[in-house]
Structure 1
């Protein structure tokens, strides 16, 4: 096994850990994937490596922006005020540190349910908003996962072209 194949395989494994980090938010998935592509680009020192890095960084930026804009717009369209989304986002950040792995989505959704219930002064009326928050979290995860998968595919194509 050549050094290029071993390095490429190890970096691909790091990227797969990054994909797992997107699905189970323990690790910064897209960050880990892009770090692996950066390492490969630095080792490769070819147009393939730098192009792959540029594409992956652009995908990272697009996924980062879309994973907040698309679900946020969906929540606003569902009647959840922007300030409630901000409060829920802050609760999600706190939840990330309080309950590792699942705290961010749980606290985000829970905060929307609680704040919307307090606004409506009725616990049952906030179920629709809460369901929209669950869908928004899922959409956000899918956007990030799509960005991560596209980065991995970009790497595999560039690596294949560079080593043919």
Structure 2
């Protein structure tokens, strides 16, 4: 196999896995997208995409970490979630991977609910926290998906213009 083909298959695979990773909590979504775009630029000897574009892509990737953290925190804090509920939503999100596709949506809610119920023993509060945490995670996921598409757009602009 020609090495040039490998240089373009690898970045494509990284970008596609990264885009899937935006939705799947076990995969580092946007860092993989960034890695794929970086490898594509490197394979082209940075002829089309230079350091300015790569810095912008790196900043977008860094922003994704902040957004992921803040969106979940915002959703949870807005409804008064305990630390136990936050940990529960993380554990539930990871456990949800094994029960695809429903588990991806139910896992964070169930984990937050269990964590909050364990902390407070109040069903109503646990339900409110579960929903709030889930909404925060979904908003964060939608925002990261938009950032991923933005990264592809920035790369395309850098490549073609």
Scaled to the shorter chain, the TM-score interval is 0.7 to 0.9
How far off is 1:129 after superposition? 1.5
Q: Tell me, in whole angstroms, the C-alpha distance in 2 between the residues paired with 1:57 and 1:96.
A: 29
Provide, for residues 25-84 of structure 1, a one-character-per-residue CA deviation record: whole Å limited to 9, x for no partner: 564321221111111222232473322221111101001111111320231121112x12
Counterpart in 1 of 2:108?
108
Provide, for residues 77-134 of structure 1, a one-character-per-residue CA deviation record: whole Å limited to 9, x for no partner: 21112x124422552475267x275656544321211122234434344222111122
Does structure 2 retain, via aligned residues, the 8 Å contact 1:26–1:100? no
| TM-score (normalised: structure 1) | 0.74
- Of the structure 1 ranges 41-50 and 145-154, higher mean CA displacement relative to structure 2 is found in 41-50
Q: Tell me, in whole angstroms, the C-alpha distance in 2 between the residues paired with 1:27 and 1:101.
A: 14
Unaligned runs of 5+ in 2: none
Counterpart in 1 of 2:34?
34
Counterpart in 2 of 1:57?
58
Number of residue pairs the alignment of both structures matches: 157
How far off is 1:143 after superposition? 2.1
| TM-score (normalised: structure 2) | 0.75
Q: Tell me, in whole angstroms, the C-alpha distance in 1 between the residues paired with 2:78 and 2:124.
A: 20
- Of the structure 1 ranges 63-72 and 119-128, higher mean CA displacement relative to structure 2 is found in 119-128
Counterpart in 2 of 1:45?
46
Secondary structure, counterpart of 1:48 in structure 2: coil
Cα distance change of structure 1 residues 134 and 89 upon mapping to structure 2, 3 Å threshold = closer
Correspondence list, 1:1-164, <5 A: 11=11, 14-25=14-25, 27-43=27-43, 44-46=45-47, 48-81=49-82, 83-92=83-92, 95=95, 99=98, 106-161=106-161
Secondary structure, counterpart of 1:141 in structure 2: helix
- Of the structure 1 ranges 140-149 and 100-109, higher mean CA displacement relative to structure 2 is found in 100-109
- Cα RMSD of the aligned pairs, angstroms, is 3.3
Secondary structure, counterpart of 2:50 in structure 1: helix
Unaligned runs of 5+ in 1: none
